[in-house]
């Protein structure tokens, strides 16, 4: 519960901070700038001094007229812009650090979800009658290994699958 509250507060803080940053840009420009910074940080997260690396890269792209962020050309020497940019870089680094810390929990959730899907599948199979293919395969295994055949029609799909697995496992080791 505490983590949920913390996450929602972080999201609210992030949105408020983002709304206050770069007020001199249009929504599209702000979105393009934030997206390019986030993707830049994600690609280069291991490197040191990402801020200066980003500025150097943008200056290079502006020099060769290949930048997607042409609108920041006039702001690269503005102290207020650079301060806000550093703040956004710090926020992006915190975000990716937080995501990295959440990775074990996400993996655990995936495992739990996989187990739940398996249980649901088995529950559904326990309520369904066996397929003709299962029945014929069971009969052929019983003939092959000379096992007494049970009344398989009264069993569920799950029961028959488990019986087939047992027969295969018993005779695989032989």
- What local confidence, expressed as pLDDT, does residue 69 receive? 86
Q: What are phi and psi of 46, to 5 degrees?
A: -75, -20
Q: What pLDDT, on the 0 to 100 scale, is given for residue 14?
A: 64
For 156-159, which contacts have Cβ atoms below 8 Å and span 24 or more sequence positions? 156/125, 156/126, 156/127, 156/128, 156/129, 156/130, 157/125, 157/126, 157/128, 157/129, 157/130, 157/131, 158/122, 158/125, 158/126, 159/126, 159/130
Report the pLDDT averaged over residues 37-45. Answer: 91
pLDDT of residue 23: 85
pLDDT at 7: 64
Task: Enumerate the domain spans of the chain.
Answer: 2-124, 129-172
Mind listing the pLDDT tens digit for each residue in 51-81?
Answer: 999 999 988 988 888 888 888 888 888 899 9
Mean pLDDT of the chain: 87
Q: Which pLDDT score is estimated for 37?
A: 92
Higher pLDDT, 45 or 158: 158
What pLDDT, on a 0 to 100 scale, did the predictor assign at position 149? 83
Q: What is the pLDDT of residue 115?
A: 97
H/E run at residue 102: helix 79-127
Could you report the per-residue pLDDT of 131-168, keeping only the tens digit for each?
999 999 999 998 999 888 888 778 899 999 999 999 89
Higher pLDDT, 70 or 19: 70
Average pLDDT value for residue range 110-125: 95
The residue count of the chain comes to 174
Bigger pLDDT: 10 vs 106: 106
């Amino acid at each position: 519960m505490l983590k949920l509250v913390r996450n929602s507060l972080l999201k609210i803080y992030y949105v408020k901070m983002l709304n206050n940053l770069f007020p001199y840009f249009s929504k599209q420009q702000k979105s393009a700038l934030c997206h390019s910074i986030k993707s830049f940080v994600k690609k280069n997260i291991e490197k040191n001094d990402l801020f200066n690396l980003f500025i150097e890269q943008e200056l290079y792209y502006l020099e060769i007229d290949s930048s997607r962020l042409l609108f920041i050309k006039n702001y690269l020497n503005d102290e207020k812009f650079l301060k806000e940019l550093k703040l956004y870089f710090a926020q992006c680094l915190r975000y990716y650090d937080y995501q990295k810390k959440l990775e074990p929990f996400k993996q655990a959730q995936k495992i739990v979800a996989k187990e739940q899907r398996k249980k649901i599948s088995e529950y559904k199979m326990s309520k369904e009658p066996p397929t003709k293919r299962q029945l014929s395969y069971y009969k052929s295994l019983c003939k092959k290994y000379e096992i007494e055949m049970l009344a398989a029609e009264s069993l569920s799909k799950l029961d028959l699958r488990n019986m087939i697995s047992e027969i295969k496992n018993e005779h695989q080791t032989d």
